[in-house]
């Protein structure tokens, strides 16, 4: 029997769901968590002896502490010593104009995408060190590209990218690898479906189509099948260079590299066209010039 172990957050659907399946297929004992147990019922049906589901909300420190107790107890029951992979996958979208982000959306996004993973690493790191394992993060191209109406989501992913970079440096003496998967388009249901706030300065007729285009950006750009994505991600963890932290995966994951090379004015021009913002900018300028 294999003694390989992994913990994956955000396993109710999408990348997390398929990560749990792929890891179990490769012989790992998988601790799969999400905010709702019932959302992971299918995982335990498919791999009843390999996937262990439990409830953990990464945005709650109390839930993380309870999750640690559960995992640690189960490891002891199975006579296992730690975690080979700690995969921080749980995420929350946030698509609003920067000056209009509702406070609850701000807190939810930062807690789930940045503060939560930092707390997860703090709480579970000794279990990873015990196995000289890997800590992974589902990052995003949005953390490096000035996508309109994605300031908070982008900030959370940019922050986790820098955290991963320094974490890798600091964990080198313990032979722990760190991977930040800078993710482009993947076919998941993470799109933010919330409307603009009623009092938003951008709430004009010309904005409706552009805002919908932005919200559905990933699904309209030939997103990668999550089953393919997770195979590539786990292959990188198992066989990739230990010194490589940033790994680009998903449709158009190359965008951050292009953004770093080309002049900002050109990137903004391209995004203005791509997200149908020319008419929006003109209408806003005219409206508030008159007022």
Q: Annotated catalytic sites, by residue?
A: 12, 153, 157
DSSP letters for the chain: ----EEEES--SSHHHHHHHHHHHHTT-EEEEEES-GGGGHHHHHH-TTTEEEEE--TT-HHHHHHHHHHHHHHHHHTT----SEEEE-------B-GGG--HHHHHHHHIIIIIHHHHHHHHHHHHHHHHT-EEEEE--GGGTS--TTBHHHHHHHHHHHHHHHHHHHHTGGGT-EEEEEEE-BB--S----PPPPTT-TT-STTHHHHHHHHHTTTTTS-PBPHHHHHHHHHHHHHHS-TT--EEEESBTTTHHHHHHHS-HHHHHHHHHHHTT-HHHHHHHHHHHHH-
Q: Chain centroid to CA 167: how far?
A: 17
Half-sphere exposure of 244 (CA within 13 A, CB side): 12
């Amino acid at each position: 029997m294999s003694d390989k172990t992994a913990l994956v957050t955000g396993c109710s659907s999408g990348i997390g769901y398929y990560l749990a399946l792929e890891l179990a297929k490769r012989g790992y004992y998988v601790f799969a968590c999400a905010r709702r147990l019932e959302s992971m019922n299918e995982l335990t049906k498919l791999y009843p002896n390999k996937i262990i589901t439990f409830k953990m909300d990464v945005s709650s420190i109390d839930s993380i502490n309870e999750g640690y107790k559960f995992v640690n107890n189960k490891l002891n029951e199975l006579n296992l010593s730690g975690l080979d992979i700690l995969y921080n996958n749980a995420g929350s979208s946030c698509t609003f104009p920067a000056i209009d982000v509702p406070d609850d959306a701000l807190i939810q996004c930062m807690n789930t995408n940045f503060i939560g993973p930092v707390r997860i690493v703090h709480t579970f790191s000794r279990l990873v060190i015990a196995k000289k394992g890997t800590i992974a993060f589902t990052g995003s191209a949005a953390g490096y590209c000035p996508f309109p109406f994605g300031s908070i989501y982008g900030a959370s992913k940019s922050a986790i990218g820098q955290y991963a970079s320094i974490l890798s440096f600091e964990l080198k003496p313990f032979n722990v690898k760190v991977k930040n998967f800078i993710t482009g388009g993947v076919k998941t249901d993470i799109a933010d479906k919330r409307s603009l706030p009623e009092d938003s300065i951008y709430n004009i007729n010309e904005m409706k189509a552009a805002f919908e285009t932005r919200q559905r950006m990933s699904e309209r750009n030939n997103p990668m099948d999550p089953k393919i994505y997770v195979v590539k991600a786990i292959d990188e963890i198992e066989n990739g260079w230990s010194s490589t932290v940033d790994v680009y995966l998903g449709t158009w994951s190359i965008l951050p590299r292009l953004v770093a090379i080309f002049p900002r004015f050109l990137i903004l021009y391209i995004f203005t066209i791509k997200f149908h913002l020319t008419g929006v900018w003109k209408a806003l300028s005219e409206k508030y010039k008159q007022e």
